[in-house]
Amino acid sequence: MDWQFKRKYDVCVIGSGLSGMTAANGLAKMGHSVLLLEQHYQCGGLAAYFKRPGGYTFDVSLHGFPVGMVKSCRRYWSADIANSIIQLPHIRFVNPQFNFETTFDRVDFTDKLIHLFKIPAETVERFFNHLRGMNFYDDDKRTTGELFEEFFPNRPDVHRLLMEPITYANGSTLDDPAITYGIVFSNFMSKGVYTFKGGTDKLVQSMLVELQKNGVDIAKRSQVDKIFTKDAGDRKSVCGLRVNGVEIECRAIVSNANLKTTILNWLDEGVVDTTFRKETEAVRLNNSSCQVYMGLEEGDQFPEIGDLIFTSEAPAFSSAELKSYETESRTFSIYYPSIRPESKTPRYTIVASTNALWKDWKDLSDEAYTAAKEALKERTLRSLDKFIPGVADRLGWIEVATPKTFHRYTGHWEGASFGTKFEGLKVSMELPNHVNGLYHSGSVGIIMSGWLGTINYGIITANNVDKFLRRA
Ligand SMILES: Cc1cc2nc3c(=O)[nH]c(=O)nc-3n(C[C@H](O)[C@H](O)[C@H](O)COP(=O)(O)OP(=O)(O)OC[C@H]3O[C@@H](n4cnc5c(N)ncnc54)[C@H](O)[C@@H]3O)c2cc1C
């Protein structure tokens, strides 16, 4: 095979998701030679975008992140990237239990909880302070559901308000550890919801410019399928990998690919001990998603209907309903032309997102799969019609993605949108204790998920790899 890159690096990073790119960039800035390998023809991983005829550009996972992204991007990327982050001020909730607009921050949520939901001010204050004080190292065994019951007993409407947006943001449910809720919700509550002006395409291009400036070799269409190790005392040590059939030598590897693939598929049997292997096998994946991408016909426009709409027709909230095959709960992300001010083809686009389960989609025959996608389109258009009457007749493009789509483009087991459940964090963090020089960095444990979580994990991993390389 024709290989245009070197055959020996300090570090190979497998996967160019936000975490992989951040780790690669950090390591290159620390002075290490870095090869970034991406199996797809486009970098970004789930931070994906795609273009369609008619001048449409669709964003896959640019729906909103906490303000912390500004600091992380300034520190680990560039001032230009950080300066393109803007607030989405119009967040709407529309469901049978409540209907209002919010800036989705602590001040406005406090106001809504007190005046709309009639919760005593003291309880609201105590709740927010409790969340702020939550610490990853606390041994708090409570679930999010139990936490809600403690502060807001018998108030399913309040539970819905607090949980629904976070389920969309990181796939967590009422049954997950309260810490996974507390950290992420507090991040959003600090100053609201933010997005990247210019779209995912501009963000990824800007990151690639930085990576190249810092000397990272970037190999796209490069599929890794094996990690090589050698004896190193009481455990194995990383010595290289195989990509597109070519063997590359390296002293450390950061895998941004799926945690389970990395440990269970790419390492030889016996490289990690049986207990750790079993622990990895037991890691549960987070749910997947469906999306409907819609573009308004050229020249058409609609009035401002909000930036992000959490809408549902389900009478009450339940984590199961949100993930069910025929869920009536979805978010609409509305992209006005102002999001891509430099675009030569200004368009209004909308992305409808629902949570979804791999098991509901994986075994459908081609015929049933096509029919299921059509049915999803119809349900989505029916729901959107309430906000934009007659929308079905005004579209220049419509297309559906399912858990199978996410699986195909990222290789994530079960098309997981947000990595693994909480227990994945421990396995991910402990990997280098089992194989010298092998690190994982990417959405895991709910907390390290989403754009902000995964970028931060990327830099944490880069620092650990740097320490390892210097020690070695
Ligand atoms: C529908 C949807 C909506 C979302 N919305 C939001 C949102 O609004 N806000 C938010 O903060 N987060 C959101 N997320 C989550 C967020 O997109 C992810 O948490 C984040 O982008 C994941 O980044 P990552 O680096 O961890 O992994 P990924 O982006 O999954 O990257 C992994 C990379 O590894 C590559 N790879 C895999 N196997 C190999 C191999 N064998 N060889 C080489 N490369 C390989 C993949 O191709 C991929 O590029 C959403 C996710 C989905 C699916």
pLDDT digits (tens, 9 = 90+) for 36-73: 999 999 999 999 999 999 999 999 999 999 999 999 99
Confidence band for 131, pLDDT divided at 50, 70 and 90: very high
pLDDT of residue 334: 97
Say how many C-beta atoms besides its own lie within 10 A of residue 383's C-beta: 22
Report, as an integer, the average pLDDT of 159-188. Answer: 94
Confidence band for 110, pLDDT divided at 50, 70 and 90: very high
* Percent of the residues in the chain that have a pLDDT greater than 70, as a whole number: 100
446-467 pLDDT, tens digit per residue, is 999 999 999 999 999 999 999 9
Residue of the CA atom closest to atom 19 of ligand 1: 450
Distance 417 CA to ligand 1 centre (A): 7
Q: Which of 167, 185, 256 to mutate to test the pocket of ligand 1 (most atoms within 8 A of CB)?
A: 256
pLDDT of residue 32: 98
**Mean residue pLDDT across the chain:** 96
Residue of the CA atom closest to atom 26 of ligand 1: 442
Residue of the CA atom closest to atom 49 of ligand 1: 45
Q: What distance in Å separates the CA atoms of residue 403 and residue 446, rounded to the nearest whole number?
A: 18
Report, as an integer, the average pLDDT of 141-163. Answer: 96
Distance 233 CA to ligand 1 centre (A): 35
Q: Which residues does a 6 A CB cutoff place in the pocket of ligand 1? A: 14-20, 37-40, 45-47, 60-61, 63-65, 223-224, 256-257, 289, 291, 353, 406, 410-412, 417-418, 442-443, 449-451, 454
Residue of the CA atom closest to atom 31 of ligand 1: 17
- Model confidence at 1: pLDDT above 70: no
Q: Which of 61, 184, 208, 264 to mutate to test the pocket of ligand 1 (most atoms within 8 A of CB)?
A: 61
Q: What are phi and psi of 248, to 5 degrees?
A: -115, 135
Distance 316 CA to ligand 1 centre (A): 30
Which tokens is 88 given?
Answer: 């989405």
Domains recognised in the chain with CATH numbers = 8-41+220-284+419-471 (3.50.50.60), 49-87+287-410 (3.90.660), 105-189 (no CATH)
Kindly state the helix (H) or strand (E) to which residue 131 belongs, with its residue range: helix 121-133
User: Tokens 């570090």 label which residue?
Assistant: 11
Distance 61 CA to ligand 1 centre (A): 8
Say how many C-beta atoms besides its own lie within 10 A of residue 418's C-beta: 29
Candidate from 242-251, 285-294, 316-325, 369-378 with smallest mean pLDDT = 316-325
Q: Which atom of ligand 1 is nearest to the CA of 442?
A: 26
pLDDT of residue 137: 75
pLDDT of residue 472: 82
pLDDT of residue 259: 97
pLDDT of residue 436: 97
- Model confidence at 253: pLDDT above 90: yes
Give the DSSP per-residue string, 146-161: HHHHHHSTT-HHHHHH
- Model confidence at 139: pLDDT above 90: no
Is the separation of the CB atoms in 18 and 454 below 8 Å? yes
pLDDT of residue 302: 84
Helix (H, G, I), strand (E, B) or coil at 246: strand
Distance 188 CA to ligand 1 centre (A): 20
Distance 446 CA to ligand 1 centre (A): 13
User: Residue 44 has what DSSP assignment?
Assistant: B
- Model confidence at 15: pLDDT above 90: yes
229-246 pLDDT, tens digit per residue, is 999 888 999 999 999 999
Distance 162 CA to ligand 1 centre (A): 25
pLDDT of residue 217: 98
Q: Which of 46, 290, 446 to mutate to test the pocket of ligand 1 (most atoms within 8 A of CB)?
A: 46
**Percent helix, strand, coil in the chain (nearest 5)?**
40, 25, 35
Say how many C-beta atoms besides its own lie within 10 A of residue 431's C-beta: 22
205-216 pLDDT, tens digit per residue, is 999 999 999 999
Q: Which atom of ligand 1 is nearest to the CA of 45?
A: 49
pLDDT of residue 141: 85
Distance 16 CA to ligand 1 centre (A): 9
Distance 45 CA to ligand 1 centre (A): 4
Distance 144 CA to ligand 1 centre (A): 25
Q: Which atom of ligand 1 is nearest to the CA of 418?
A: 19
Q: What distance in Å separates the CA atoms of residue 170 and residue 184, rounded to the nearest whole number?
A: 8
Distance 15 CA to ligand 1 centre (A): 9
